[in-house]
Amino acid sequence: MARTKPTSLIRGEATLSSPWFSNSWRIINQGTELARMRRFPRLHLSAVQLADGTEWTIEPDGFAVVRAIDTHGLEVARITRRSWWGRHWDLTGTGFAYELISHPVPRRWIVAVGGAPVAEIRGSLISYNTVDIDAPLTMPTVAAVLAWHVIARPWEQAAAPRGLVPRTRVADSAVLAAHDAAQGF
């Protein structure tokens, strides 16, 4: 993984929210917008822009692996499925390694280190249009973004578009077009 400058961190309570039927998301922590995300459903990609201007692309990389890639094409972090039903994931990046574990209560997940909770992620009873994060310990924003991607969009991580569609000039230009479109959101 690429060495990167320290990224934004989530402390305490944060909210990921999106209007109904929208592909735009925001992460708000302590009254400050940490990041904006835009999904490109047909491409199975999401573009992320942090408040400091840092940009990532979230994309599947083979079956059950999702990566955060910076603008130089370097991997910043990844999340990898570890259970058949998708209830246990490894979440790793520069300077952190977590587990994302499905809680027995529906629409609740725990981010843990060695089984000890670092944060809890809760979706509403109806949808994942609003996701609350309670992080008593500081957690990198990229970890929350990758967790959101596999929790709220499980079919996208399973789609593995790079595995199903050969890498061609047309496919690569679609990824670049998605990145360019994200610049304007």
Structural domains in the chain, CATH included, are 11-183 (2.40.160)
pLDDT digits (tens, 9 = 90+) for 53-92: 999 999 888 778 889 999 998 999 999 988 877 788 999 9
Residue 143, exposed/middle/buried by CB under 10 A (0-12, 13-18, 19+)?
buried
Q: What is the pLDDT of residue 43?
A: 77
Provide the pLDDT confidence category of residue 172 given band limits of 50, 70 and 90.
Answer: low
Please enumerate in sequence order all residues whose Cβ is within 8 A of that of 146, keeping only pairs 6 or more positions apart, or say none.
58, 66, 68, 77, 78, 79, 91
Token pair 């998708």 is found at 86
Question: In whole angstroms, what is the distance from residue 3 CA to residue 54 CA?
Answer: 14
pLDDT-derived band at 44 (thresholds 50, 70, 90) equals confident
DSSP for 77-133, please give it.
EEEEE-STTS-EEEEEETTEEEEEEE-SSTTEEEEEETTEEEEEEEE-SS-SSEEEE
Task: Give me the pLDDT at residue 173, please.
Answer: 59
For residue 40, which of 55, 58, 27, 52 has the smallest C-alpha distance? 58
Range 155-165 burial, b when 16+ CB lie within 10 A, else e: ebbebbbeeee
Please state, for a pLDDT cut of 70, what percent of the chain lies above it. 78
